[in-house]
Amino acid sequence: MLKKLCTFMIIFIVLLAGCKADDNPESVNEKGNTVYPLTGLEADKEADHRAIAVMVNNHPAARPQSGLSKADIVYEILAESNITRFLAVYQSEFPDTFGPVRSARDYYIRLAKGYDSLFVFHGWSPEAKKMIESDYIDNLNGLKYDGTLFERASFREAPHNSYITYDHVMEGAKEKGYDMDIGAPAYTFMTEDEENEVEGDSYSKAFISYSSESFDVTYEYDEGSETYARYTAGVRTEDYGTNDPVEIDNILIIEAEHEVIDKKGRRDIDLESGGDAYLLQKGKLLKIQWESNDNRIVPVLDGKEVKLVPGKTWINVIPTSGLTQSVTLE
């Protein structure tokens, strides 16, 4: 009996260990080299740095922003009215400075949670405040650290002048006892051979209208770099100070139900149910679907995850029917 019990315990421990290992599996490419989970690019250092997700201001008075060129994943989603805001997720590399940092909404928080990230923001909506105060996600809030971890830039006016450095993020994480060695959940990436056989119709440009010229987006494919340049209101998206351009390998445009829920124009956005999407890669466009995988937006086709080109990914969320009404392809 004792022998059988010991055997059962050993099997149970092995199974438990196996399940735990699958939570954040180490990503490797076809050559067997470790890659970063959010870009699929070979890691030149440890790939298990915790992701940092930052709410980035996209008001015209906040442009150009700092650090967007280094983000692995960027979500662009409507906040109030026709104003968009970014959730920039960093894991493979980090800028010296993030910002301007802006206030949170509940749907951005859920997305940040999907990457097991440390969430950085400055202010909140009532629903976002409830989530933060319930300890839903590890976070650094500029309302608490204004003037300490977060600094106000003299060259911009509030509320478009809140910035935080990478060093201050790490200092805040240490102060609050957060684990910064949590690997992010991985996307599925193409091999080199698959990159040369990307499927879809040829389009070199995509234009997205958010019903306000100040927030209209244009993506243009560059055959030389094999990446997409991004423009807002006709101005190329580059980092403040360094002029480093945003160069994107995957553009995912998804449509989701939007509903205005209060007099200030705050929204409820359904990022759970899935729906239609466009995926742009290597100058090709594929009409696909999207799904939510534990609050992480994933491209799918016929129920199977679509592989990404190794590199940076931007995800634009537009209201339902926006694919045909708000997206122009050339």
Please give the Cα distance from 315 to 294 (Å, whole number).
16
Q: pLDDT (tens digit, 9 = 90+) per residue, 45-104?
A: 778 899 999 999 999 999 999 999 999 999 999 998 889 999 999 999 999 999 999 999
99-112 in b/e form (b: 16+ CB < 10 A) is bbbbbbbbbbbbbb
Taking 70 as the threshold, does the pLDDT of residue 252 lie above it?
yes
Q: What is the DSSP letter of 66?
A: B
Whose CA is closest to 79, among 98, 56, 100, 112?
56
The C-alpha angle 25, 302, 218, rounded to 5 degrees, equals 85
Q: Are 299 and 288 in contact (CB under 8 A)?
A: yes
Please give the Cα distance from 8 to 316 (Å, whole number).
49
pLDDT the model gives residue 323 = 87
Q: Which domains does the chain have, with CATH numbers?
A: 52-176 (3.50.90.10), 192-329 (3.50.90.10)
Q: pLDDT (tens digit, 9 = 90+) per residue, 202-238?
A: 999 999 999 889 999 999 999 999 999 999 999 999 9
Whole-prediction pTM: 0.91
Taking every pair of Cα atoms in the chain, the longest distance, rounded to a whole number of angstroms, is 75
Contacts of 196 (CB under 8 A, 6+ apart): none
Q: What is the DSSP letter of 219?
A: E
Q: pLDDT (tens digit, 9 = 90+) per residue, 287-308?
A: 999 999 999 999 999 999 999 9
Q: pLDDT (tens digit, 9 = 90+) per residue, 110-137?
A: 999 999 999 999 999 999 999 999 999 9
Q: Are 128 and 103 in contact (CB under 8 A)?
A: yes
Please give the Cα distance from 254 to 217 (Å, whole number).
14
Number of H helices, E strands in the chain: 7, 23
Tokens read off for 61: 């008075």
| Three-state secondary structure readout of 283-315 | CEEEEEEEEEECCEEEEEECCEECCECCCCEEE
